[in-house]
Amino acid sequence: MRWVTVKGPARQYISYKASVARDVGGLSPATAARVLTRLESALASEGHAGEALKGDFAGLLRLRVGDYRVIYARTDEGYLVLRIGHRREVYRRGKP
């Protein structure tokens, strides 16, 4: 598995699962920029911004950005982003 790590302004590390590149590639450039900007600013300043998920996704958090959702987990080093997608589809592919 390949991971890309970005250092946030609050010294938190935000890592992206390799499949997130495919998720972001399916978005329009404006939407992708909006989602990534909101994600990085929210996690860097207030990592608790997301809501805890239940069921198959228990232990993970979600961040709402308009009609899009970001599924992520807290790690020892910061955060790991697992999936980005439209609210209608982001939970359908099964467990990340």
Tokens of 48: 């608790």
Specify the CATH architecture of the domain 3-86: 2-Layer Sandwich (3.30)
Tokens 């860097």 belong to 44
Per DSSP, the three-state class of 96 is coil
Tokens 């992206």 belong to 16
- Selection from 23, 30, 41, 38 nearest residue 82 by Cα: 23
Give pLDDT, residue 2: 34
User: Is 90 exceeded by the pLDDT of residue 95?
Assistant: no
> How far, in Å, CA of 90 to CA of 15, rounded?
19
- Lowest-confidence segment of 5-14, 51-60, 86-95 by average pLDDT: 5-14
Give pLDDT, residue 1: 30
- Report which of residues 22 and 43 the model is more confident about: 22
The tally of CA atoms less than 13 A away on the side-chain side of residue 80 is 14
Q: How confident is the model at residue 48 (pLDDT cuts 50, 70, 90)?
A: low
